[in-house]
Amino acid sequence: MTSRFRHVALIGKYQASGARAQADARDSVMEDIGAFLESQGCTVYVERPTCEEADDTDDTLPAHPRYEALSVEEIGQRCDLGLVVGGDGTMLGIGRQLASYGIPLIGINRGRLGFITDIPLDNYQATLIPMLAGEYEEDHRSLMQARVVRDGASVFDAFAMNDVVVNRGATSGMVELRVSVGRHFVANQRADGLIIATPTGSTAYALSAGGPLLHPAVPGWVLVPIAPHTLSNRPVLLPDADEIVIELVGGRDASANFDMQSLASLAIGDRVVVRRSDFRVRFLHPRGWSYFDTLRKKLHWNEGGS
């Protein structure tokens, strides 16, 4: 088969921290995947920070990488596909950055869970051949746009694909948060924190805190309290067309996390404002892929049953 994707960005870390043997193994995997893509008629590029990181760490990668290195912006402008090799965290990071360009992403799992990097590394070639030829399922995921507002001015902004989390300080007690949805006041809540999760993020921190699973096609968020003081304070499913505002009313050393990959410190009176982004992340899955298959596999449903 001939690939319908002519220009493919290979995204993932060439070198892991730790022993040299582990780093060499990771480099070898990336080189093997790159060679496979070339055999399918693709021109392969790598993300520029990946190469720079490798070049800065002794001689684990040749001084002249085999593939041209592009910035994220250049990948968005020049590539037809992003092939992400790593765990869900790697996919979250690049997914946020490439969403505005509309480039589809395929994930090869080298992490622990793999909810959104769902192709097993040991079977990637057989899975990718038909996908590169155009046989795949397409899956669009919502993205949050969040900002921290202080004294009427935005002091921090970020995208989030999984969740926005307002947390208490590591050594402090509960925080008090004033929550509004749309133009409506919801409640003042005392808890260890509060999670606003997308359907994608409903299988992450929100699930651990007792939240429900949301199918990716559901146009909503889930609002999940973390260890609330009032036991009747339960998770709430909200329409994603509404803006959510969380104001810090009380508590020390609180912070706002965005996909657990960027963080902003909060002061009393700060507001975390979350709305639906105009952009969506495009995932490609093997033909026949089902969200429910993913849940069964990753959450170990039906184990021990018939």
The 3-state DSSP class for residue 164 equals strand
164 & 272 share domain: yes
167 & 113 share domain: no
198 & 259 share domain: yes
Strand (E) or helix (H) holding 292: helix 291-298
Residue 59 confidence (pLDDT): 38
129 & 148 share domain: no
**Residue 283 forms part of a structural domain:** no
> Is 88 in the active site?
yes
Catalytic residue among 27, 32, 59, 88: 88
Residue 79 structural domain: 7-134
Strand (E) or helix (H) holding 138: strand 136-150
The number of distinct structural domains making up the chain is 2
Those residues whose C-beta lies under 8 Å from the C-beta of residue 239, and which sit 6 or more positions away, are: 219, 220, 221
Band (14; pLDDT cuts 50, 70, 90): low
Picking from 134, 169, 193, the residue at the C-terminal end of a domain is 134
Amino acid at 228: P
Residue pLDDT, tens place only, 130-182? 999 999 999 999 999 999 999 999 999 999 999 999 999 887 789 999 999 99
CATH number of the domain to which 27 belongs? 3.40.50.10330
**Residue 289 forms part of a structural domain:** no
Residue pLDDT, tens place only, 46-104? 998 644 444 444 433 433 368 999 999 999 999 999 999 999 999 999 999 999 999 99
Higher pLDDT, 21 or 214: 214
Residue 17 confidence (pLDDT): 45
**Residue 74 forms part of a structural domain:** yes
Band (302; pLDDT cuts 50, 70, 90): confident
**Residue 15 pLDDT greater than 80, yes or no:** no
Residue 64 confidence (pLDDT): 36
CATH number of the domain to which 206 belongs? 2.60.200.30
Residue 170 confidence (pLDDT): 82
**Residue 195 forms part of a structural domain:** yes
Residue 26 confidence (pLDDT): 58
216 & 245 share domain: yes
Picking from 101, 134, 167, the residue at the C-terminal end of a domain is 134
100 & 219 share domain: no
**Residue 293 forms part of a structural domain:** no
Cα–Cα distance for residue pair 236/123, rounded to 1 Å: 39
Residue 171 confidence (pLDDT): 79
Name the average pLDDT for the chain: 89
126 & 186 share domain: no
Q: What is the mean pLDDT of residues 183-201?
A: 96
150 & 246 share domain: yes
Neighbours of 298 (CB within 10 A): 14
| Ranges 38-42, 71-75, 112-116, 159-163: which has the least confidence | 112-116
118 & 149 share domain: no
| Chain CA centroid to CA 288, Å | 23
- What is the signed CA dihedral for 257, 258, 263, 265, rounded to 10 degrees? -50
Those residues whose C-beta lies under 8 Å from the C-beta of residue 230, and which sit 6 or more positions away, are: 189, 190
164 & 109 share domain: no
189 & 239 share domain: yes
**Residue 16 pLDDT greater than 90, yes or no:** no
The 3-state DSSP class for residue 73 equals helix
**Residue 118 forms part of a structural domain:** yes
Residue 304 confidence (pLDDT): 64
What percentage of the chain has pLDDT greater than the value 70?
88
**Residue 296 forms part of a structural domain:** no
Residue 65 confidence (pLDDT): 62
Residue 112 confidence (pLDDT): 78
215 & 168 share domain: yes
Residue pLDDT, tens place only, 217-248? 999 999 999 999 998 999 999 999 999 999 99
**Residue 295 forms part of a structural domain:** no
Residue 303 confidence (pLDDT): 75
